[in-house]
Structure 1
Amino acid sequence: MVNPTSFDNAITKWWPEVTKNNPNTPIILVGIMLELRDDQKTLNQLLSQKKAPITTEQGMAAKKKIGALAYLECSFVTMKGIKEVLETVARTIITKCKEAGSMNE
């Protein structure tokens, strides 16, 4: 959420590498450190670098661009969004296993 370089790397470096090496891997894009998006110290640091926090809209646009299954935001400090992230990952794993026929029903 507060590291534009990491966000850009997810799209320009990590996603192409994952899709090249594991083309059938489902992608879930997760913005972390949500609690820092409105933190004044963090905002000042970003401003001094002529940067800004990643917005939800930017995350959703990235999701669409790379064809991710979901874009979610969370904070491990406040626990906001953690349940949704875990549920989404679990549902994705279960679905993928069922599709592969590797899970007993």
Structure 2
Amino acid sequence: MQKHYNKWIEEANDRCPNVPIILVGLKKDLRDDPAAIEEMRKRSQRFISTKDGSDTAHAIGARRYLECSSLTGEGVDDVFEAATRAALLKFEDGESVRCCTIL
């Protein structure tokens, strides 16, 4: 998994240097879904824990780690609020915000 993080963080930093990064874990609702857990097990995979996500965010220099589920709506507002706050804080610091990418 680490090589994927390295690839994307390098891409983000190259294209948008000095832009705050927020790492977002998606499909939070599947973490407790027995069918999804079994499917992941069949592929020798597992869901990332909240701690793993937080540790990765820290390792890549992300401002925050958040989780959400578009199916249940849990955490979605928090993600948009965090992105808005990060952009506004960057703007208030007198730095121009050159890009904002939501993946």
TM beyond 0.5: yes
- 1:32 equivalent in alignment to 2:26: yes
Q: 1:73 aligns with which of 67, 74, 95?
A: 67
C-alpha displacement of 1:8: 5.6
Deviation at 1:64, TM superposition (A): 0.8
Unaligned runs of 5+ in 2: 97-103
How many correspondences in the alignment?
A: 96
Deviation at residue 52 of structure 1 after TM alignment: 0.6
Structure 2: how far apart are the matches of 1:101 and 1:20?
17
> Given the two structures, how large is their TM-score scaled by the length of structure 2?
0.84
2:92 maps to 1:98: yes
Distance of 1:84 and 1:75 partners within structure 2: 11
Structure 1 length normalisation: TM-score?
A: 0.83
**Distance in 1, Cα, partners of 2:8 & 2:95:** 28
